[in-house]
Each structure stands twice: as structure tokens, then as C-alpha cells.
Amino acid sequence: MLEALYVFFNPLLLQVQLLCLGGKPYVIAGTRAKLRKRENFGHRSLNLPSHSETPTKNDSHYWQMDHIDEIYRNRIAALTRALYAIRCVKEDNVPCKIEEGLFLGSVGAASNKNALKSLNITHILTVANLSALDWSTHPNDFIYKTINVADREDTDIAQYFDECLDFIDEAKGLGGGVLVHCFVGRSRSVTVVVAYLMKKYHMSLSQAMEHVRSKRPQAAPNSGFMLQLQNFEKSLQEDKGVATNEIEQQG
């Protein structure tokens, strides 16, 4: 698996791909990464553009340069994720037990089939945009659910709480276990697990976070997710208050 990942994201091959577009060699020049075609790519020096060559929005190649910039950024981001995934697979590949039937971890834990089987994990909840890392899945061995979200402060992860919590309950109800994971196992997956503990056991946010960190010390949802968990805590308290009033009225 690691060999396949290395071949796919081989840094040398990536570098060649970045510099060869449309079958023609290009080199990067200028502050906005203007790419100029070089017929003699074997020449080692870069022909830096003069000031008059600096691209503008009126440049017919301006849109192409922006597109190439985007390709470059995406490939570098993919390479970074892949290299970190290799590290997770090697160093952070054991699911952390939060409670009976509920586990938390990184993409490394999600790819460790032997550990998953030994812990009676039957369901895997992926809370991340990991389409580039499909090699980490075992579709014939586990039941998957994917919540495709980015680890950003402005991501509305709370909208997925209900379906995530239902998936966890489903796995446990069937006598199995569920691994909740994201890429690093620090923010997105932690947010979902904390929300589950808050709703299932009427824990406060601080109690749920303390419990999760006692099992996985690196747990640290981003500030936007923490704010959503605070709002979730308030909504749970309001629901509890309404339920209490209804019981008192019936009595």
C-alpha cells in the first residue's frame, strides 16, 4: 500500500508533471509564476522576464497562468497530504478507544485492517474530504459513511451531527464498533465524537472534551468547531428544559 502511494505521489514525478503541461516543457518565471515555454529545456538557466513581460489581466495568457497556479497548489497540497498520510499509517495507526464500541483516530487507524478487526470495528465514519486517499479503505470488510467536510473554521459541521450520531448508534446497536476518523484525528472526528458524548450521556462540553483528551491527547477541534459545539450544548440544555417542563405538566 505504501509503495503504491509513493509511486502515485513520487516527488520527482510530481515535479516533472508540474513543469510539463500539454506535453511541452515549461519553466516558472516572474513573481506571479508566469510559465514560458522553452523548446530547449535542457538549458539550465532561467530566462527571467523583463518588467514589461510582467503579466496583467489583459494578457491573453493571464487566465492560463492562474489555472496553472491552481494546478500547482493542488498538487503540492495533495503531495503534502500523502506524505502526512504515510506518517499516520506508520506512527498513528491504532484506533483510540473512547468507550465500548466507539473509537477515534486518524487516516492511519482507518487503514489498519488488522487492528480494526481485532477491536471488532464494523463501521467506519470518515469525517473528511479524503477522496485522494481511497487506498485507505476496505469496502468489502467494513460499512462506511463519509461526511465530506474541510477542517476550516467556517465549515458548518454541526449540520451533520444527527446523521453521524445515528450512524454511531446503528453500529453499536448491531453489536459492532465504529471508528470515527478524519485525516489527523484531531479536529473534525473529535468534534463528532464530543457531540455524541454530549447528547448520549448529557455531558457538558468541557466534560466531553476532557474525556476524549484523556484517550487522545492531541484532540483539538478548530475554533469554529468549538463554537458550534458550544451552540450544540446550549441547544441540548434547551431541549432538556423543555422535556422537564413537559414531565412536570403531566405530573
**pLDDT (tens digit per residue) in 46-60:** 444 444 455 555 555
The residue behind cell 487507524 is 109
pTM: 0.67
Report which of residues 24 and 108 the model is more confident about: 108
First to last CA, the chain: 62
Phi-psi region of 84 (alpha: psi -120 to 50; beta: other; left: phi over 0): alpha
pLDDT value for 110 = 92
pLDDT value for 8 = 39
H or E element that contains 162: helix 161-173
CA distance 71 to 74: 5
pLDDT value for 229 = 99
pLDDT value for 5 = 44
CA distance 100 to 112: 19
Q: What does pLDDT average to over the chain? A: 76
Report which of residues 130 and 180 the model is more confident about: 180
Helix (H, G, I), strand (E, B) or coil at 123: strand
Judge whether 218 and 92 are in contact, CB under 8 Å: no
CA distance 196 to 249: 29
In the predicted structure, residue 245 carries a pLDDT above the cut 70: no
One of 88, 96, 164, 182 is an active-site residue; which one?
182
CA distance 24 to 49: 19
| pLDDT cut 70: percent of the chain above it | 58
| pLDDT cut 90: percent of the chain above it | 51
Helix (H, G, I), strand (E, B) or coil at 177: strand
What grid cell was written down for 220? Answer: 483539538
Average pLDDT over residues 216-230: 98
Average pLDDT over residues 22-43: 42
The question of whether 182 is a catalytic residue gets the answer yes
CA distance 112 to 121: 11
pLDDT value for 84 = 55
Give the CA dihedral 64, 67, 71, 73, nearest 10 degrees. 120
